[in-house]
Every structure is written in C-alpha cells, then in structure tokens.
Structure 1
Amino acid sequence: MSSNATDGGVPPPAAYANLPHDDKRRSTLLSIWCLAALSLAFLVARLLCKLCTRRRLWWDDHVMVLAWAALAASVALSTWSIALGEGQHVWDVDPAHFGRLGLLGNLTGTFSILAAVWSKTSFALTLLRLLSGHPRLRALLWLAMGSMNVAMGLNALFLWVRCAPVAKTWNPAVPGTCWAPQVYPIYGVFAAGYSAVMDFVLALLPWKIVWQLQMRRPEKLGVAVAMSLGVVAGATAIVKTSQIPTLSSPDFTYVMLPLVVWGAAESAVTIMAASIPVLRVLLRDAHQLTLRHYIVSAGTGGGTDVRTADGAGAGGGEEMQSVVRREQPTKHRRDVEHGIDDDDDERALRSVGSQQTVRTARETTSKEGDMCSIRVALCDDGSSQEGQLRRDDAFYK
C-alpha cells in the first residue's frame, strides 16, 4: 500500500488555493477501528465459549488469533500513517513525511495481506474436519488453501522486492531501479481476485456435505447458511480488488484510503463469518445443557425420565435426547401391574410401547450422528477418543 509518487505531484503555490483540501482521516479511523473491535468481539466470544465449555483450542483457533493480530497491526500502522498525513491530498502533506508514509504503507499492506490469508486458512482448517470422509473434497480444499497462501504470500513479498535497493520501494528519492509501474498493481489485482474466488469456494463447499446429512431441512439450512457467510468476505475482497489500481495514483495519500478500509473489512468480515458457525454450535450446546438440567430437575420432582438414543441417561453427553414423560400410575393401572400381569391387553400395550421406543431411537440415531459430526468438526475439544481420532485424521492425512 505504497506509491512511487514523488514531490512532482505537489502543485505550484499559485494553483494551490484552487485545489480541494478535504480529507478522509476521521471516517477512515472510525471505520477501521470499528471493524477491528467487531471482529475481536466475535473472536473473543468464540474462544470464551470453547473454554467455558471445557473445549481445548485447535489449529483453526490459533491461526484465527494470528489473523486478528495481523489485522490489529495493520490498523495500528494505518493510524500512524493517518497521523502523518495519509487521508489528505498529497499537496497538503509535509513532503518530509513521504518516505515514512511509504514504509508504513508497505508494512500496512503486508499485515493486511497476512490477516486476510490467515483468516481464510483458519476457516479452511475447520472445514477439513468436516470433510474427513470425503478424500476428493479434502484434496480440493488442500489445493485451494495452499495456492491461496502462495498467491497472497507472493503479493506481500513483491511489496518489498520490486525495487533495488529495497529502500527505494518506500522512498523514490533513493537511487536505484524498480519494476514497471503497473506490474505490481496487476499482480495485486490477480492475487486479491484469486483470494475472493477462494472465499466463494470455501463458502459453497459445505453445502454439498451438509445437504447429504440426515437432518431436518431447517437444521440443514441453518448449518449451511452459517458456514457460507464467507460470501460476504468474498464481496468485500472484490471491492478491495477494484481499489488496488489507486496505488499508482499521484495523489496516493488521499485515494488509497478506501483500499485501507476495504482491506481491513475483508479480514474482519472473514474472522466474523468463520466464528459464527462455531458460536452457533457452542450456543446450541449450552442451550441443550440448560434444557437438560431443567428436565432432570423437573424429573426429580415430577417424574421425567431423560434417555438418549443409546439408552444412556442425561449425563451420557449426547446432543439429541428423547424425553419420556412418566405419568403417575392410576389405581386401575397399579391393579393391572400388581395383579394381572399376564393379561393379554397389558402385554400388548407394553409391546407397542417398546416398539415405539425402538423406532424413535432408530429414527434419531442417524440425525444424532450427523449432528455429532458437525459438532466435532466445528468445535470438538479433543477430550473424547472419537473427537481426537477425527481431529488427527483430518489434520495429518
């Protein structure tokens, strides 16, 4: 996010009074810090929910923390640049600050790129666990993740190596040579556009998996939509891509501010979008635990029995439960149970009840398994043997 513009962009004093002197500093500061704060709120909520439910953090969580740290660094560097005059027209900026603004622009661009690619990588790592039984889709996901990191990594590297010596990349007054002025913006557009395409790939990939699960249609839609909010990040990436050509503008200190804002928006939106599916599952688990506690408490005083599909009690840890209300026996039923157990009608009643229980358990088992798979993929803490095996299989294969 730097420019090769020199003092040649400053107009002569006679024309200075007729030029615009507006600036974008306040609006830019408000935008980037709000984005950083919102994304931090989502990230902290995600981490706290995991820790409060005694789940350990996994690779996707650690990479997401790094992504937000890079976003915070880029926002802090942008704030410093704005204090030196970025956001004003180039003729309103002290020429002595141009070199420092160029260096800060390079640093801001580097951290902005890292924040974007790391946040997308974090979500890709989350998807890897969901795709543990789909080797072809896993291979596609690894290819997308690797190529995206290479393309964006080169974009960050080219910020620093496009001139020799390196100092000339942020201070055009230094003697040396540079690439043609349009080379880096062209590659920047390609890399940012490719990153946007990967946003849509990562957003649409869960639909194929979720729609094949044995779940109720509303639940499918909820899970799929929650995991597809990356399309919003893709939209912000497209807008950011359209702003990259402004890097070669003579009035670079003014026209590049939208690029700074949209760069921060891409990373912040990705962090929030990647945290929503995890928060959704964790909050759903918390609701289930609260409901389970209420049912068990009611059962101790009013006769409620809580059974999971495999027959375990409320402490069995399964997400989906079948709640069976035990009615208070009438005098007639007590007489039947104690005196006429061999009655054909009574045996038939018990047989029907047993068949209904078995049928209900069979119908819910498949749904429970799919919901358990989603929960393990998004936020399993690895404490169970099943979760650890799925995690190891997803990451090391």
Structure 2
Amino acid sequence: MSSNTTDGGFPPPSAYANLPHDDKRRSTLLSIWCLTALSLLFLAARLLCKLCTRRRLWWDDHVMVVAWMAMTVSVGLSTWSVTLGEGQHVWDVDPTHFGMIGLLGNLTGTFSILGAVWSKTSFALTLLRLLSNHPRLRILLWIGIISMNIAMGLNAVFLWVRCMPLVKTWDPSVPGTCWAPQVYPIYGIFAAGYSAVMDFVLALLPWKIVWRLQMRQQEKLGVAIAMSLGVVAGGMAIVKTSQIPSLAAGDFTYASIPLIVWGAAESAVTIMAASIPVLRVLLRDAHQLTLRHYMVSTGAGGTGVRGGDGDGDVGQEEMRNVVRVERQIQHRRDLEHGSEDDERALRHV
C-alpha cells in the first residue's frame, strides 16, 4: 500500500494540506431551490390562468403537479444530504455519514428521474389534445410516452437492485456483490439520452401540428415557438447525461453535485417550458380585454357623439357598435385564414 494513503484508502492527515477543500454546498442549495421556486411560479400561473378563464384542469395539469412534487421531494432530499456533507470533498466529510449520504443519493436520483419523466409526459399529453385529427401521430406519441416511461422507470429501479444485498447499493462497506462497475452508468446514459431525444421530439412536433392549422402566419409562429421551448430541457438532459459517469468517482460526495443540479434543472425547465403556451394565451387575452376597456372608456369620456338633454349614453352606444363591427371584421378574417375550431383547440393548451 502506498505511503500516501491510510488503510481505509483515505489520505493521511499529513497530506490534507495539499488537497483541495472547496465547498459547493451553499451554491448547490441556492441553485436547486431557485429552480424549484421558479418552476412553482410558472406552474401556479398556469393553473391560475386556466381557473380564471373557467377552463377545467385536465390530465396534463394533474401530471405536471405530480412532477413538480417529485422534483421538490428530490430537492428536499438533496438538501438533507448537503447538511451531512455532500458538496464537500470526501476527505472533508465525516465517514459515519457515508451510508446515509448514499441512501439519500438513491432516493434523490429516484425522485429526480420521476420528476423529469412525468414533466415530459405532461407536455406529451398536452400535444395529444392537438392531435385529435391525426391518428398516426397520436399512436407514435403514445409509443414515445410509454417507451420513455419504461426506460426511465427501469433507470430508477436499477438504482436499487444493482447489488445484493440491496443495502450495498448505498453502503459499499456492506459485504456482497454488485454488477460490473460500468453496467449501470452505461444504462443510465442510454435512458437519460433517450429522454433528451424525446425532449427534442416534443419540441419539434408542435411545428408540424401548428403549421398545418388554418391560422394566421404570425399566430402560427408564436404558438409554435411557445410550444417548442422544451428544446432547452433537452439541452439540460444532455448535460445531465454527461455527468452520469461521475457516479463512479472515488470523491463521490463532491463529484455528484453537478448531477444533482442538472437533474433539478431538467425538471424545472420542462415545467416552465410546458407552462409558457398557457401563459401566452393569458397575456393575449388580457391584452385584448385591456384594449376593449380602453376603447369603451374613451368613448364614454366624450369622444363619441353626445346629446344635449340626457343623451349622454349615445357615445357609449356608438362605441359598443364600433366594437361589434370590429369583432365582425376579425371574425371574417379568421374565416379567411383559419377555422374557429383550431383557435378553440389551442385555447386548451
């Protein structure tokens, strides 16, 4: 055995001064909780938008709520692990905490995987609502949803069953046997990579759907871009995938931090991206409502024709007529460029 290590495989006290002692605990907590708060803000705005416009919550909304809850549990478990020393180098952590940090790592990974796959599933369910007239695309999308959940579900299961006895998966000091060291990282890379591919598929599919709708060109572009922001989540998934080999690092309490942060980022960004199309509808409707109120109030304020003896309501009535005429003009434009069914379908996004 080298004179630079002790019997436990750790550097002797005399070598500590030459080792790095940087600490990522504070930055890790700031990152994951900011992501959690931002995703909650977008999710709450999405739900309030639907409730305020008297639209019922659908399966995609419920699944998204469950996905956010899974992500939050994952972040909470990571916080617990950080208090035990995760985020520091392994030689700066109390060895008696290694077993608990390993167990919390397994739990964090499980809920992080569930949060990511369920948030993507929610957006896929949203797209299914726009594919009522496209049976082949619906079948392909269902295949994608099911296969993604199976791949990611197995990834979560393998976290726990790769060693016998099971406790050895989080406490290497327990006697037993495990899979070859490279097996689980390879499958984890495959599953995370497949999840990233699904992000890009879900981001590009709206262009095919929306561009075939009979709508104004400007409206098509806005809807397609709003529904394609999940490509950012795909980028997060790729970065997270690149961090999976770090699970095998000897300095596991420090090397695991990027995987924790990027795992939270993948779920949070997916939730935010899937909520933006709903918020876009809210902002558009709010703008139209504000414009109408402004027109009516301006007419009531004296721009309209007013009578001299108790005919003050004539200006308001004329403004109402103007609004009616504008609605009729807009209705004709909609009939020329597209159908009301398309617009009604997009309002459910």
TM, length-normalised to structure 2: 0.88
User: CA offset at residue 360 of structure 1?
Assistant: 5.2
2:336 maps to 363
* Residue in structure 1 matching 2:318, options 280, 302, 312: 302
Counterparts of 2:34 and 2:329, CA distance in 1: 45
Q: Deviations over 1:35-70 (max 9, x none)?
A: 001101000111111112222211111100011111
Q: Tell whether the 8 Å contact from 2:295 to 2:319 is kept in structure 1 after alignment.
A: no
Cα displacement (A) at 1:285: 2.5
Corresponding position of 2:303: none
- 1:326-345 aligned within 5 A: none
Cα displacement (A) at 1:304:
3.4
Pair 1:202–1:8, CA change in 2 (3 A) = farther
- The residue aligned with 1:147 is 147
Distance 1:9 1:152 in 2: 34
- 1:137: which partner in 2? 137
In 2: Cα distance, 1:267 partner to 1:361 partner: 37
Q: Which amino acid in structure 2 is aligned with residue 87 of structure 1?
A: G
The answer for the alignment partner of 2:264 in structure 1 is 264
Contact preservation (8 Å) 1:87, 1:253? yes
**Structure 2 counterparts to residues 1-397 of structure 1, below 5 A:** 8-294=8-294, 298=299, 300-305=316-321, 321-322=327-328, 362-363=335-336, 366-376=338-348, 378=349
Q: CA deviation at 1:23?
A: 1.3
Tell me which amino acid in the other structure corresponds to 2:255. V
Counterparts in 2 of 1:14 and 1:209: CA distance versus 1, 3 Å: same
> What per-residue deviation string (whole Å, max 9, x for no partner) do you get for residues 316-372 of structure 1?
xxxx93359xxxxxxxxxxxxxxxxxxxxxxxxxxxxxxxx9x657426x2433222
Provide the rounded CA distance (Å) in 1 between the counterparts of 2:347 and 2:77.
38
Q: Counterparts of 1:28 and 1:80 in 2: how far apart (Å)? A: 12
One-letter amino acid of the counterpart of residue 321, structure 1:
R
How many Å separate the matches in 2 of 1:303 and 1:199?
A: 48
- Equivalent residues of 1:295, 1:306 under 8 A apart: no
Alignment check: 8 A CA contact 2:32 2:261 kept: yes
CA RMSD of aligned residues (A): 2.1
1:361–1:111 distance in 2 versus 1, CA, 3 Å: closer
In structure 2, the gaps of 5 or more residues are 1-6, 300-314
Q: Secondary structure at the match of 2:347?
A: helix
Query: Using the alignment, how far apart are the partners of 2:9 and 2:83 within structure 1?
Result: 20
1:360/1:220 Cα in 2 relative to 1: closer, same or farther (>3 Å)?
A: closer
Distance in 2 between residues matched to 1:292 and 1:32, nearest whole Å: 42
Question: What per-residue deviation string (whole Å, max 9, x for no partner) do you get for residues 258-303 of structure 1?
Answer: 1100000000000000000111113323333444455566473434
Please report the TM-score for the alignment, with normalisation by the length of structure 1. 0.78
Identity %: 77
> Contact 1:120/1:270 (CA < 8 Å) preserved in 2?
yes
Match of residue 341 from structure 1:
none
Which runs of 5 or more residues in structure 1 are unaligned? 1-6, 308-312, 315-319, 325-356, 379-397
Say which is worse superposed, 274-283 or 240-249, in terms of deviation.
274-283
The aligned amino acid for 2:189 is V
Whether contact under 8 Å (1:246, 1:255) holds in the other structure is yes
**1:212 Cα deviation (Å)?**
1.4
Check conservation: 1:296, 1:305, Cα contact below 8 A: no
Shift of 1:90: 0.4
Question: Does the 8 Å CA contact 1:295/1:304 hold for their aligned counterparts?
Answer: no
Q: Are the counterparts in 1 of residues 199 and 234 from structure 2 also a CA contact under 8 Å?
A: yes
Moved more, 37-46 or 287-296: 287-296
Hey, what does 1:338 align to over in structure 2? none
The match for 1:383 is none
What is the DSSP-based 3-state SS (H/G/I as helix, E as strand, rest coil) of the residue aligned with 2:250?
coil
CA-to-aligned-CA distance 1:166-197 (integer Å, 9 cap, x gap): 11111112222111111111110000000000
Shift of 1:249: 0.3
Assess if the C-alpha contact under 8 Å between 1:296 and 1:306 holds in 2: no
Distance 2:202 2:153 in 1: 19
How far the C-alpha of 1:213 sits from its partner, in A, is 1.7
Q: Which protein has greater RCO, CA pairs closer than 8 Å, 6+ apart?
A: 1
Inter-partner Cα distance in structure 1 for 2:27 and 2:257: 10
Distance 1:24 1:303, change over 3 A: closer
- The residue type equivalent to 1:57 in the other structure is L
Alpha-carbon distance in structure 1 between the residues aligned to 2:83 and 2:169: 21
C-alpha distance in 2, partners of 1:16/1:360?
A: 75
